[in-house]
Amino acid sequence: MNINRKLRFQLLVQNSFFVVLFLLLVILLGYLASQYRVAKDITQANRNILTQGSVNVLKQMNAPINITVFATKDDASGGDNFRKGMIDFVARYQREKKNVNLTFVNPSIEPKLAQDAGVKEDGEVIVEYNKRTEHIIPPIAEQEMTNLLVRLSRTNQQAVMYLDGHGERNLLGVKNFDLGEFGKQLEKKGFKFANPDLTIAQGVPSNGAMLVIASPQVDVSEVEAKKIKAYLEAGGNLFWLLDDDNYRGMKEVADYLGLHVSPGIALDMASAQYGADARVSFASLYGEHAITTNFMLRTLFPEAHEVTAQGTDENGWKVSNLIEVAPNGWLASEKLAKDAKPTFNEKKDKRGPINIGVALERTYGKKGQRVVVMGNGNFLSNTFITNGGNLDLGVNMVNWLAGDDKLITIQPMPLKDINVNIPDTDTGRIVAWTVFHGFQYFIPFGVMIAGLYFWWKRRKA
């Protein structure tokens, strides 16, 4: 090609025009990036965005959330790495709620401020909401921060009372049968416990949020049963877990609620696909109720009993069915032997689905009264609490009974792939070194060398 002055001028105009357009494109993209934000998380565990449970909690919080980080700049990076980590972490909350404010305070420069705030450790974080504060120490996972926000949001500070002394599942116990892990989660969400001795007390204290009766193994005395009934008659809330149709001396209480629990258990033929016995029932569909609104997690209930309740004009209870299980199973009329094969008896058994939980409520004075009865206590035991949505369902029930309807939500789940375990062997260390440095140095350097090679080759052509 013959390159003359005219052609050179045309190429100059053409290239200049391209550069101008390119600069305009960069400026336009910069402007759009400053005005609009779009985030897409492609990690397996969605580690860069909040889980739906956290988003739901933030939606209930109308006031600003102020997060103050007391951190020095004494580390090797001058505090930059720590600050960037906190900024990235809080940004996940700021994307969902605009008035989440983050402030850094250097205790070395402002020691009086740190002292007044009661700060004891470098990096300590103070979260303030509606003039209530809590301290938390990094590293902070989403679940810890969201639980903290739930505690700050909670308006009901009344204690959760639990019946004890009859072999009940203990809310603080560590045995497989107990509800200790469930109790720990409730404490993290701001609940406090009380254990009234009904053999001594005049009655069940009226200043508690609810009374929990968790599967007594021996009969409650007649005196205690009368006090529990009097508590209900006075408008008290009740969370009652039953492992069978034996009311353990509280038949009068069951009658007062219009309650009936089946002697046989639900058998779920679909359990086999989850590798479970037919005695373990699974639920993924729930009744229309505040406890189960938008609740779509699968829950499991070992040896669950059918529960029904009858609301009448006389007792004033409004009854809602909560959980149905075994749509492909049935309610066995008799207890199934350990190694026996489940067989449907047309004359005695009842086909599924089987309802295993009810919620009752009625107006009492200026406030409402609420009761939840479950024909199964195993689902909240230490053995089964971590299965599926069992914990979420239990927390939702307690929140509803405590009157904290706004906090009924799906709890944030812990991330699955946040840790890398490197075998403590020479081979493991070499592989880890190669992988980490490969992505950090080798691959970028290789791409740069390849680019230079192709540039040189095309220039020589």
**pLDDT tens-digit map of 158-195:** 899 999 999 999 999 999 999 999 999 898 888 899 99
pLDDT value at residue 275? 81
Of 61, 51, 59, 289, the residue nearest 155 (C-alpha): 61
Residue 335 per-residue DSSP state: P
pLDDT value at residue 366? 73
- With tokens 């960069």, the residue in question is 26
Question: How much is the pTM?
Answer: 0.71
Q: Are strands 124-129 and 132-136 parallel, antiparallel or unpaired?
A: antiparallel
Query: Going along 276-429, which residue ranges are E strands?
Result: 280-283, 299-302, 305-309, 318-325, 330-331, 350-351, 354-364, 367-374
Question: Per-residue pLDDT for 11 more than 80?
Answer: yes
Contact 395, 410 (CB under 8 A): no
Q: In this structure, which CATH number among 3.40.50.1000, 3.40.50.1820, 3.40.50.300, 3.40.30.10 belongs to the domain 52-153? A: 3.40.30.10
pLDDT value at residue 90? 93
CA atoms within 13 A on the CB side of 65: 27
pLDDT value at residue 45? 62
pLDDT value at residue 299? 94
Question: Per-residue pLDDT for 258 more than 90?
Answer: yes
Q: What is the mean pLDDT of residues 147-153?
A: 88
Q: How confident is the model at residue 410 (pLDDT cuts 50, 70, 90)?
A: low
Span of 101-105, 111-115, 402-406 with lowest mean pLDDT: 402-406
The arrangement of strands across the sheet holding 238-241 comes to 193-194, 160-162, 210-214, 238-241, 367-374, 354-364, 318-325
pLDDT value at residue 211? 96
Query: What's the pLDDT tens digit per position in 302-317?
Result: 999 999 998 877 778 9
Crossing angle between the packed helical segments 142-153 and 52-59, to the nearest 10 degrees: 30
Question: Per-residue pLDDT for 437 more than 70?
Answer: yes
Crossing angle between the packed helical segments 52-59 and 80-96, to the nearest 10 degrees: 70
Of 335, 363, 362, the residue nearest 348 (C-alpha): 335
Q: Which amino acid is located at 185 in the chain?
A: Q
Spell out the domain ranges in the chain: 52-153, 160-402, 421-453
Contact 92, 58 (CB under 8 A): no
pLDDT value at residue 28? 95
Report the C-alpha dihedral over residues 118, 120, 121, 122, rounded to 10 degrees: 60
Q: Which amino acid is located at 242 in the chain?
A: L
Query: What's the pLDDT tens digit per position in 16-62?
Result: 999 999 999 999 999 998 888 777 777 766 667 888 888 888 988 99
Of 50, 69, 38, 58, the residue nearest 100 (C-alpha): 58
The token pair at 167 is: 């072999």
Assign 1 to helix, strand or coil.
Answer: coil
Q: What is the mean pLDDT of residues 110-122?
A: 90
pLDDT value at residue 413? 58
Of 235, 258, 238, the residue nearest 363 (C-alpha): 235
CA distance 79 to 105: 12
Query: What's the pLDDT tens digit per position in 52-88?
Result: 888 888 988 999 999 999 999 887 778 888 999 999 8
pLDDT value at residue 360? 96
Q: Do domains 52-153 and 160-402 have the same CATH topology?
A: no
Q: What is the mean pLDDT of residues 238-243?
A: 96
Could you tell me which residues are beta bridge partners of residue 213? 240
The token pair at 48 is: 């860069």
- With tokens 């939980």, the residue in question is 357
CA distance 317 to 256: 10
pLDDT value at residue 272? 83
Q: For 160-402, CATH number?
A: 3.40.50
pLDDT value at residue 355? 95
